[in-house]
Amino acid sequence: MSDQQELKQTKHVSTQSFIESSFFTKLSQLKLDKFKLDSTQIAIHGFITNPLKLNKFNDVPTINLDQQSFEDDTEFSIPGELLNVNTIEEFKSVDKLDLLNKWGHEIQESIKTSELFDYRLFNKFYMLSFSDLKKYKFYYWVAYPTLASTWSVVSEETPNPEVINLIESQLQSDFNLFFQLDSGKLHKRFDLKKDHTFVFVDTCLRKDRKSSNQVRNYLYYLASRGVKDINLITYRGDGSSTYQHLKIESFSETPKVTGWERTTQGKLGPKLADLGSLINPLQLADQAVELNLKLMKWRIAPELDLDIIKQQKVLLLGAGTLGSYVARALMGWGVRKITFVDNGRISYSNPVRQPLFNFEDCFSDDGQGELKAIKAAENLKKVFPGVDATGFNLEVPMIGHPVTDEPKQKSNYDTLNKLFDEHDVIFLLMDSRESRWLPTLLGAAKDKIIINAALGFDSYLVMRHGSIKQQDRLGCYYCNDVVAPNDSLSDRTLDQMCTVTRPGGALMASSLAVELLVSILQHPSKNLAPHDDSQSKFGNVPHQIRGFLHNFQQTKLFAPSYVHCSACSNIVIEEYNSQGWSFVKKCLDSTQYLEDICGLTKVQTEAELASKKLLEELSLEDGVEDDDFDEEWLD
């Protein structure tokens, strides 16, 4: 061609990105587990198609990104860097021109010192992004910084077929995008004192024969080394290759940098990948729940072990007010296995205090309220379908309540025993004292983590039971008793049959019970942690927490295990381990039997004798005869 044609920017085809959803899935995972709030640029890479395998659908140069973009480089990969900011405001406010110039000058500095024309160096890309992990939306803008130098086409013709064959042969074994052709050979290392004939391997097939902008950085490099005219063979696999003679027209040491990717409408602007509508809502919910926890870990508690909390299998004995609030708090901490045990039905007074129940749960097809344990599990799944919640309509055998239907009560015992074996943590949340005895014994015998929460009218108690493996063993719920628990449910008045408490007490006790569990799990000794030790990542792990709403006070207390405890003493555990249900049945039928076994009977006898002796000593000191003393009291 005799007329010179200036190679303007519009003559080049811009590189495009194709980003698979797996890239953003991997990014969200790394953001949660590794990057956190770190917005430092990280290395990634994209992939280009081998030019020998291009087809008519590859009409623009394309860099592909997927989950492998975060792994090690492979053949046909293009290096890149990702700048993932933490807020949408930061994404919007960053000066895009300054950022592009910064990236362009990084490439300029790199290629100034390069002797090997590695296509990875000259085609580096960058990505600015913001990840909205709650909605699973990803805002991003990809840039391919290109350095401007103006060249003119002096002439153009079809290249020699022998050169084309040479290029294709070279690409079979040594993939690159730019070579020097000298003495019938292709070289990746250049000698600019020799023939200035170069080969550019184009990665797109445009019918109008426009070159891709991937060639611009190569041309800038040559211009920076003083090269003023070259022969450029542009190879395309569809047979439209060209042989051009180019001359430099303008060059600057501080070149203009372009390269922000355009939208499908041809406009400059970022793109949005909204994957929320494409992903299972359950997966989105699960990630959103984890995000809340991991944000807490990033900012406040870097050493917090979330996995150990998530792995716990938790059994809730009681699906009422305490059970409902405990379940919700456990779910908030990431616990995914929750089992309810209760034998009650939902009444009209329940929903206002028990957040897992609604008004429609107060009646069922049989004219009664729904079963509490079953409905609690169902409604917990409605809150978060990812939870593995199960309910058992089961009456826990209670001490002081003799066995009247042994097959049924034995079956309840067997089920409860099996549930203890299948769970790691047990919460005692029942509304009677005697119903906690058997679970306390099972927890001690099986060495489970037992958390006890109990309510008074305006007071509450939250405690953890000691482990049989503790050196200085902590007490259980019954360790301060001098008698075995007995029947407290028969012949009750209306106010005794209902749980009459200030509503806020249940929320406070439930929250403290769950937080106590979390502190136990974060302690290096777990349930063996001493009550006065603060090695937990969450501070102290107390034994008992007693709260009083009438004066808004809270106290931490400690009580050692009692050698004669009716529920956790060694002799009771030994008798249970050797006899099983037979021992439990005897205890249910007679609290006196249990008191004899654990030694409380002897303690009571000795206490009576000591009291009598004290009275005798007092009467003798006052000079009062026994008969006179008795008569005085009788009067």
Which H or E run includes 48?
Answer: none
Concatenate the DSSP letters of all residues of 409-456 into one string: HHHHHHHHHHHHHH-SEEEE--SSSGGGHHHHHHHHHHT-EEEEEEE-
Distance CA 592, CA 346 (A): 35
Dist. CA 206–CA 61, nearest whole Å: 10
CA dihedral 370, 442, 561, 591 (to 10 degrees): 80
Q: What CA–CA distance (Å, rounded) separates 589 from 586?
A: 5
Q: How far apart are CA 229 and CA 627, in angstroms?
A: 133
Quick check: is 498 catalytic?
A: yes
Read off the amino acid at residue 108.
Q
* 265 Cβ contact list (under 8 Å, min separation 6): none
Quick one: which of 223, 217, 254 has its CA closest to 110? Answer: 217
Alpha-carbon span 356 to 368, nearest angstrom? 18
The strand pair at 337-342 and 313-317 is best described as: parallel
The answer to whether the CB of 241 falls within 8 A of the CB of 159 is: yes
Looking at residue 445, its amino acid is A
Residue of 323, 389, 388 lying closest to 355 (CA atoms): 323
Report CA dihedral (395, 396, 402, 407) to the nearest 10 degrees.
60
How many helices and strands, by DSSP H and E, does the chain display? 19, 25
How many angstroms separate the Cα of 621 from the Cα of each of 299, 303, 581, 615, 617?
Answer: 70, 65, 53, 10, 6
115/365 Cα distance (integer angstroms):
84
Dihedral over Cα of 257, 224, 200, 6: its sign: positive
Q: What letter represents residue 496's amino acid?
A: Q
Identify which of 415, 413, 414, 436 has the alpha carbon closest to the alpha carbon of residue 426: 436
- Considering the candidates 498, 565, 568, 587, report the single residue annotated as catalytic: 498
Contact 423, 315 (CB under 8 A): yes
The H or E element spanning position 614 is helix 600-621
Q: Which two tokens stand for residue 13?
A: 């085809």
Closest by alpha carbon to 428, among 366, 485, 371?
A: 485
Q: Which two tokens stand for residue 376?
A: 């609690």
Distance CA 577, CA 575 (A): 6
**Which residue's structure tokens are 């600015």?**
128
Is residue 188 within 8 Å of 117, Cβ to Cβ?
Answer: yes
- CA-to-CA separations, 1 to 5, 156, 413, 574, in angstroms, rounded: 9, 6, 97, 103
The residues annotated as belonging to the active site are 498
